[in-house]
Amino acid sequence: MTLRTRRLRALTVAVTLLAAAGSSSVSGAAARAVPRPSAREAAHCRALHKELPATLAGLERGTPRHVSEFTAQWGTPAVFLRCGVPHPEALTVGAQRFDRYGSAWDIGGIAWYPEQQADRSVRFLAVQRAAWVEVTLPKDYVGGGSDGPGVLAELAARITRTIPEGYV
């Protein structure tokens, strides 16, 4: 078993445990709003947008309700991507819900911070990049034989090519 396979299996187990534990956060329409990144972040997001695939882990690309260079989606239910998102409260020092012990998982060279959503989907944030990318996996793709880790791994390669490491 390769290191990558072990990490992906560990991610599936961890996401399943996260889903079972539950949490509350923004989900639904608010989670799909078009981000308003800074000019510098927007340039990185546009570069990423050009690299996004027509098919992601076997899921066909669709058209988000609000068409933008900062959003994309694949499949039904949709895996949803937003680029140039602000820091969530859990990762904002001094915020009421700041989680100083929150951990990120390395998948494809990207640090992904998971957040369980109220609808049981899981939002993953690609952190430590010059623009933050959010990928929301619907509950149908979280654990249980789905290819949620494959989605993140495929996107990680594109994020690495288009958005340099850094902090916003």
The model's pLDDT over 100-115, given as tens digits with 9 standing for 90+, comes to: 666 788 999 999 999 8
Q: Are 155 and 103 in contact (CB under 8 A)?
A: no
pLDDT value at residue 3: 40
pTM for the structure as a whole: 0.77
Closest CA to 106 of 1, 14, 38, 42: 14
For the chain, the residue count is 168
Regions of the chain where pLDDT drops below 50: 1-30, 145
At residue 15, what is the residue type? V
Spatial separation of the C-alpha atoms in residues 161 and 16, rounded to whole Å:
29
